[in-house]
């Protein structure tokens, strides 16, 4: 059985381990694998079934042309003289966009985003007809079709309209089928490049060291502050996917840049843990000046000859100066000491922004100051 001292030692070690783990992050949350990303798709389509809120034929001429072309492919021929007389208020031309995930297979479903291209007032209740989604190379990789979901409504009366949410952009959940796969040979890779989501030499070096320690071999090397080259070990030959699962869950403590973020619109101040401040004296007072203009009427004495009533302006000025004292903020070694020292003055967040800007100008704030 544990003695009292052993129990204390056990909980102390457990607390330290949990504290270290809480400050670390997985490699998969800090880097991207080069070549593994989504691909953007775009297409043109028609939305039908609208309640008179579609494109105007007089302003959006290509809407009529698109409908005529679609009908002609279905065997319906419209005489040339009748094309200009066509009016389709229930149809809208749209652009359809989607993201093709990495390693997507034929038959997989992906979401499609539909956005009005003409002057349609609303896409509520519409249905997208079959639209081919193409990549930058001009090839079709997916086909989208289905009922639109807006998440709002638009109603119109004779004298008043009511609208909720944006009515000219809609989404079709799982509304596109993948028709063509992207060729890849990821498992055959002999080298993998990890790209940092944010450039940092220290964090990249820690990731490289963590991979080498885990594999007990020097397979990861630092190319620059954003790229880490990893050689696939012989044991994982032709199985790079399994190798990635082994290293992406390793924990690494990311290094933080000393930075202070200020938002003057909302009075928000955010400081990183590495913010340091030298010894500095701070006094933040407030000067309050109020000027009030009043008009008073001056009456002449009763029965006075030649007297008249006049308006006499009166100005009242009230000046009040804050009584904040001069405070010496000592040299700090942690973020808590910085906050405690500034809070001792009793300032609000908006005053704190002005103080930090002044401290930065004096050279006592050793951090990057970013104003949103």
Poorest-confidence range of 121-135, 218-232, 265-279, 340-354?
340-354
3-18 tens-digit pLDDT: 555 554 554 454 444 4
- pLDDT at res. 325: 54
Indicate the pLDDT class of residue 319, thresholds 50, 70 and 90: low
302 token code pair: 């009763």
For 180, phi and psi rounded to 5 degrees?
A: -140, 135
- pLDDT at res. 352: 74
Pairing of strands 327-329, 280-282: antiparallel
Establish how many alpha carbons lie within 13 A of residue 118's alpha carbon, considering only the half-sphere containing its beta carbon: 28
Indicate the pLDDT class of residue 311, thresholds 50, 70 and 90: low
Separation between Cα atoms, residue 202 and residue 256, nearest integer Å: 9
- pLDDT at res. 132: 93
Higher-scoring residue by pLDDT: 336, 133 = 133
Indicate the pLDDT class of residue 238, thresholds 50, 70 and 90: confident
Domains and CATH numbers, the chain: 39-178 (no CATH), 185-252 (3.30.70), 256-285+321-372 (no CATH)
Residue 35 Cα distances to 28, 294, 318, angstroms = 15, 74, 68
Indicate the pLDDT class of residue 199, thresholds 50, 70 and 90: confident
Higher-scoring residue by pLDDT: 75, 201 = 201
- pLDDT at res. 22: 46
Separation between Cα atoms, residue 96 and residue 109, nearest integer Å: 15
Q: Is the pLDDT of residue 147 over 50?
A: yes
- For 307-332, give the DSSP string: ---EEEEEEEEEEEE--PPPEEEPP-
372 token code pair: 């949103």
Separation between Cα atoms, residue 12 and residue 361, nearest integer Å: 43
Q: Is the pLDDT of residue 20 over 50?
A: no
Question: Exposure of 85 by Cβ count < 10 A (0-12 exposed, 13-18 middle, 19+ buried)?
Answer: exposed
- pLDDT at res. 127: 92
Buried b (16+ CB within 10 A) or exposed e, 169-180: ebebeebbebee
Phi-psi region of 238 (alpha: psi -120 to 50; beta: other; left: phi over 0): left
Separation between Cα atoms, residue 344 and residue 325, nearest integer Å: 10
- pLDDT at res. 331: 63
Whole-structure pTM value: 0.65
Separation between Cα atoms, residue 160 and residue 147, nearest integer Å: 28
Q: Pick from 183, 216, 364: which is nearest to 282 by CA?
A: 364
Q: What is the DSSP letter of 301?
A: P
Phi-psi region of 197 (alpha: psi -120 to 50; beta: other; left: phi over 0): alpha
Separation between Cα atoms, residue 138 and residue 172, nearest integer Å: 23
Q: Is the pLDDT of residue 142 over 90?
A: yes
Tokens 């008043």 belong to 160
Higher-scoring residue by pLDDT: 199, 177 = 177
Q: Which of 48-57, 165-174, 339-348 has the highest mean pLDDT?
A: 165-174
Asked if residues 116 and 92 have their Cβ atoms less than 8 Å apart, the reply is yes
Q: Is the pLDDT of residue 290 over 60?
A: no
- pLDDT at res. 232: 92
Q: What is the DSSP letter of 236?
A: G
Q: What is the mean pLDDT of residues 211-223?
A: 91
86-114 tens-digit pLDDT: 667 788 889 999 999 988 999 999 999 99
Poorest-confidence range of 26-30, 37-41, 204-208, 326-330?
326-330
355 token code pair: 């103080």
279 token code pair: 């010894």
Asked if residues 27 and 200 have their Cβ atoms less than 8 Å apart, the reply is no
- Give percent of the chain with pLDDT exceeding 90: 24
- pLDDT at res. 18: 46
Tokens 């809070």 belong to 343
Q: What is the DSSP letter of 326?
A: P
- pLDDT at res. 289: 45
- pLDDT at res. 113: 94
329-370 tens-digit pLDDT: 566 555 566 666 666 666 666 777 777 788 788 777 778 888
For the chain, the helix, strand and coil percentages under 3-state DSSP, each to the nearest 5? 25, 35, 40
Q: What is the mean pLDDT of residues 168-172?
A: 90
- pLDDT at res. 299: 65
Residue 269 Cα distances to 283, 294, 361, angstroms = 19, 41, 17
Phi-psi region of 363 (alpha: psi -120 to 50; beta: other; left: phi over 0): left
Q: What is the DSSP letter of 149?
A: B
- pLDDT at res. 301: 64
Indicate the pLDDT class of residue 131, thresholds 50, 70 and 90: very high
Detail the DSSP E strand segments found in 185-267.
191-196, 220-222, 227-231, 251-252, 259-263
């Amino acid at each position: 059985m544990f003695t009292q001292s052993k129990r204390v030692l056990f909980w102390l070690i457990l607390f330290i381990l949990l504290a270290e783990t809480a400050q670390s992050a997985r490699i998969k949350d800090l880097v991207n694998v080069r070549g593994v990303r989504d691909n953007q798709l775009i297409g043109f389509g028609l939305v039908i079934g609208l309640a008179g809120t579609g494109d105007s034929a007089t302003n959006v001429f290509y809407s009529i042309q698109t409908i005529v072309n679609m009908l002609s492919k279905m065997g319906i021929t419209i005489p040339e003289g009748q094309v200009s007389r066509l009016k389709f208020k229930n149809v809208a031309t749209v652009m359809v966009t989607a993201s093709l995930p990495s390693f997507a297979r034929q038959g997989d479903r992906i979401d499609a985003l539909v956005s009005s291209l003409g002057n349609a007032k609303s896409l509520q209740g519409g249905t997208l007809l079959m639209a081919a989604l193409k990549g930058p190379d001009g090839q079709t990789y997916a086909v989208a079709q289905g009922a639109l979901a807006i998440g709002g409504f638009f109603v119109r009366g004779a004298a008043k309209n009511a609208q909720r949410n944006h009515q000219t952009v809609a989404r079709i959940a799982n509304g596109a089928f993948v028709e063509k796969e992207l060729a890849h040979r990821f498992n055959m890779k002999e080298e993998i490049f990890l790209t940092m989501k944010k450039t940092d030499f220290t964090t990249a070096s820690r990731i490289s060291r963590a991979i080498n320690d885990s594999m007990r071999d020097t397979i990861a090397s630092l190319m620059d502050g954003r790229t880490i080259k990893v050689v696939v070990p012989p044991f994982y030959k032709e199985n790079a996917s399994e190798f990635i699962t082994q290293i992406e869950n390793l924990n690494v403590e990311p290094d933080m840049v000393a930075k202070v973020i200020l938002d003057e619109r909302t009075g928000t101040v955010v400081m990183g843990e590495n913010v340091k401040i030298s010894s500095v004296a701070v006094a933040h007072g407030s000067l309050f000046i109020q000027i009030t203009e009043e008009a008073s009427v001056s009456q002449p004495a009763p029965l006075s000859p030649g007297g008249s009533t006049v308006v006499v302006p009166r100005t009242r000025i009230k000046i009040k100066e804050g009584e904040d004292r001069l405070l010496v903020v000592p040299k700090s070694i942690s973020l808590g000491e910085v906050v405690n020292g500034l809070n001792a003055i009793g300032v609000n967040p908006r005053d704190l922004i002005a103080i930090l800007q002044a401290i930065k100008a004096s050279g006592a704030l050793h951090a990057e100051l970013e104003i949103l």
